[in-house]
C-alpha cells in the first residue's frame, strides 16, 4: 500500500518540488504525469507559475494539433507562460488565436510559430506591436513557396518587425524559408538589434536563382553580441567588399557556434569565407563545416579559437587530402574536443595520426562522441582511442572498410563501449 506522505505535504512544498522538476525536465510531460498522482498533486500542477515554458510541438500528437485544442491550451495552461512553442499546429484563423494568446499571456518573451503557413505580414505586425516583452522569435518554415508579398517572412514585413522589436530582439530564426532582400534584412538587424545573440538562416532559398548576399562585416559592426550563427545548407555567399573594410571589421568576439554545413558539396564556402566570419571568435565552441569541399586545413589551424568542443568535418577536403593537416587540427583541440565527426575520411594515414593525437591526452581527454562512419580508419587507431580516452560513450564504426565485420556498427552506451574495449583488448 502506498504511503500517504505525498497527500499530506503542504502545497508550497509540493510547488517547490514541482518547480525543480520542471526546470530539469520541462513542463511537458512532467506536469501532466505529476498531476495524475492524486487530487492534491493535480491542483498544484495547475499553478500558472509552473507553466512558464511550454513546448507544444513535441508532446502533442499531430492529429490533436487543431485550432480548437490550441485555444483550450491557451485558456487553461498559458496564463503564466513566458515562452511557448506552437510549431506546426493547424491554425487557419491566425488573428483570432494571436488575440487570445495576447489576452492570456501578454508577457511572452519567446514564441515559436514554425510551420504556420497562414501567418501573414499583418499577423507579424500584430505580434510585434502587442507583445511588448518579446525577445525571441522563430518563423521557420513559413514561406516555402507562398506569395512573397503577403507572407510574414517577406523582406518588407521582416524589416518592419526587426525595427519594431529593436534592441529587444535577441533570437531570430528564419530557417527553411524562401527569402528575398537578405541585404535589407541584414542592414535592419545591424541598425536596430545590437543585442542579437542567435541568428539562424539554415536551409533558406532565394526567390531568385542566384545566391543571397550576406554582408557579414555589417552584421559584425551592428551585432557584436552574436553567439550563434547558422547558415547551414543555405543559398548564401559573402559580399565582395574592399580588403580594408574587411580588416576594419571587429568580427564576432562573442561567437560560440558557427554552422556552415552543406548537404551537397559546397563550392561557395572556402577559407576566406570562414576566416572573415571567425577572425575574432576566440570563444568558439562548435564548428560545423561538413560538406565544405573547398575548405582546407590551413584556415582551420589559423582560427583564433583554442577550446572548440564540437567539430564536424565530414565531407571537407581536410578528410580527403593525403597531405591534409588533420593531425595538426586534432592536436590543436585534443584538450577540449568532446565530439568530432570524421565520417567518410578516406585517407588512412592522416586519419590514424589524427586519432593518435587525440589519444595522447590519455586520461585528460574529454572526448565522448566520435563519428568514423564510412572512413578508412584502421583497427589499431580505434584501439588507441579506446585505450586512452576513458570518456568515450559513442563511436560510429558503420561501413568502415578497414575493420573486421563484427565491428562495423554504431556503438553507444557504457555496455556496448565496454564490450568493444574487451573485444579489442583495450584496457
Tens digits of residue pLDDT in 41-69: 889 988 888 889 999 998 888 899 999 99
Is the pLDDT score of 419 beyond 60? yes
211/46 Cα distance (integer angstroms): 49
Q: What is the pLDDT of residue 349?
A: 93
Identify the three-state secondary structure at position 64: helix
Q: Is the pLDDT of residue 338 over 90?
A: yes
Average pLDDT over residues 233-246: 89
Task: Pull the grid cell for residue 347.
Answer: 585517407
Q: What pLDDT, in 10s, does the model give residues 289-312? A: 999 988 889 999 999 999 999 999
- 280-294 average pLDDT score: 95
For 71-119, the pLDDT digits (tens) are 999 999 898 899 999 999 999 999 999 999 999 999 999 999 999 999 9
Q: What is the pLDDT of residue 146?
A: 47
Coil, strand or helix at 287:
strand
Domain ranges for the chain, please list them. Answer: 1-50, 52-238
Distances (CA, A) of 142 to 26, 95, 152, 188, 321: 26, 16, 7, 20, 40
Looking at domain 52-238, its CATH superfamily turns out to be Ribonuclease Inhibitor (3.80.10.10)
For residues 240 and 285, which has the higher predicted lDDT (pLDDT)?
285
Beta-carbon count within 10 A of 427 CB: 9
Integer Cα distance of 318 and 287 in angstroms? 14
Asked if the peptide bond before residue 29 counts as cis, ω within 30 degrees of 0, the response is yes
Asked if residue 383 has pLDDT above 50, the reply is yes
Q: How far is CA 150 from the centre of its chain?
A: 28
Better-scored residue on pLDDT, 208 or 400: 400
Across the chain, mean pLDDT equals 92
Does this model's pTM top 0.75? My answer is yes
Confidence band of 211 (pLDDT split at 50, 70, 90): confident
Q: How many beta carbons lie within 10 A of that of residue 107, not counting itself?
A: 11
The 10s digit of each residue's pLDDT in 308-328 is 999 999 988 888 877 768 999
Residue 290 and residue 22: Cα distance in Å, rounded? Answer: 35
**Cα–Cα distance for residue pair 101/313, rounded to 1 Å:** 43
CA distance 386 to 317: 26
What pLDDT shows up at residue 325?
Answer: 87
Give the pLDDT confidence of 168-181 residue by residue, as tens digits. 999 999 999 998 89
Q: Please tell me the distance from the alpha carbon of residue 234 to that of residue 254, in angstroms, as a whole number.
A: 23
Question: Among residues of the chain, what percentage have pLDDT more than 70?
Answer: 96
Amino acid at each position: 500500500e502506498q504511503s500517504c506522505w505525498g497527500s499530506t505535504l503542504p502545497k508550497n512544498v509540493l510547488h517547490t518540488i514541482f518547480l525543480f522538476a520542471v526546470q530539469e525536465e520541462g513542463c511537458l510531460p512532467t506536469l501532466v504525469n505529476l498531476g495524475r498522482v492524486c487530487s492534491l498533486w493535480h491542483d498544484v500542477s495547475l499553478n500558472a507559475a509552473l507553466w512558464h515554458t511550454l513546448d507544444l510541438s513535441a508532446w502533442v500528437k499531430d492529429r490533436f494539433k487543431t485550432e480548437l485544442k490550441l485555444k483550450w491550451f491557451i485558456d487553461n495552461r498559458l496564463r503564466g507562460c513566458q515562452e511557448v512553442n506552437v510549431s506546426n499546429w493547424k491554425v487557419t484563423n491566425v488573428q483570432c488565436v494571436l488575440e487570445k494568446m495576447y489576452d492570456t499571456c501578454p508577457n511572452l518573451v519567446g514564441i515559436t510559430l514554425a510551420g504556420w503557413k497562414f501567418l501573414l505580414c499583418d499577423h507579424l505586425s500584430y505580434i510585434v506591436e502587442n507583445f511588448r516583452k518579446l525577445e525571441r522569435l522563430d518563423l521557420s518554415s513559413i514561406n516555402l513557396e507562398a506569395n512573397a508579398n503577403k507572407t510574414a517572412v517577406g523582406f518588407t514585413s521582416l524589416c518592419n518587425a526587426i525595427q519594431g522589436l529593436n534592441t529587444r530582439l535577441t533570437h531570430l530564426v528564419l530557417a527553411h524559408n524562401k527569402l528575398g532582400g537578405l541585404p535589407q534584412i541584414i542592414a535592419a538587424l545591424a541598425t536596430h538589434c545590437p543585442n542579437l545573440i542567435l541568428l539562424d538562416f539554415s536551409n533558406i532559398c532565394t526567390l531568385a536563382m542566384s545566391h543571397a548576399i550576406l554582408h557579414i562585416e555589417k552584421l559584425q559592426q551592428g551585432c557584436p553580441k552574436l553567439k550563434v550563427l547558422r547558415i547551414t545548407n543555405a543559398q548564401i555567399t559573402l559580399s565582395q567588399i574592399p580588403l580594408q573594410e574587411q580588416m576594419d571589421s571587429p568580427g564576432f568576439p562573442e561567437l560560440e557556434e558557427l554552422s556552415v554545413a552543406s548537404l551537397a558539396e559546397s563550392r561557395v564556402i572556402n577559407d576566406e569565407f570562414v576566416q572573415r566570419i571567425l577572425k575574432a571568435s576566440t570563444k568558439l565552441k562548435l564548428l560545423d563545416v561538413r560538406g565544405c569541399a573547398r575548405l582546407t586545413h590551413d584556415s582551420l589551424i589559423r582560427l583564433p579559437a583554442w577550446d572548440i568542443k564540437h567539430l564536424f568535418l565530414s565531407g571537407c577536403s581536410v578528410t580527403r587530402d593525403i597531405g591534409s593537416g588533420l593531425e595538426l587540427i586534432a592536436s590543436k583541440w585534443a584538450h577540449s574536443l568532446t565530439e568530432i565527426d570524421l565520417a567518410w575520411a578516406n585517407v588512412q594515414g592522416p586519419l590514424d595520426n589524427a586519432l593518435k593525437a587525440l589519444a595522447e591526452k590519455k586520461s585528460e581527454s574529454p572526448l565522448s562522441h566520435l563519428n568514423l562512419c564510412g572512413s578508412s580508419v584502421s583497427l589499431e587507431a580505434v584501439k588507441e582511442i579506446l585505450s586512452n580516452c576513458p570518456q568515450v560513450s559513442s563511436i560510429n564504426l558503420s561501413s568502415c572498410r578497414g575493420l573486421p565485420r563484427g565491428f562495423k556498427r554504431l556503438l553507444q552506451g557504457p555496455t556496448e563501449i565496454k564490450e568493444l574495449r574487451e573485444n579489442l583488448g583495450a584496457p
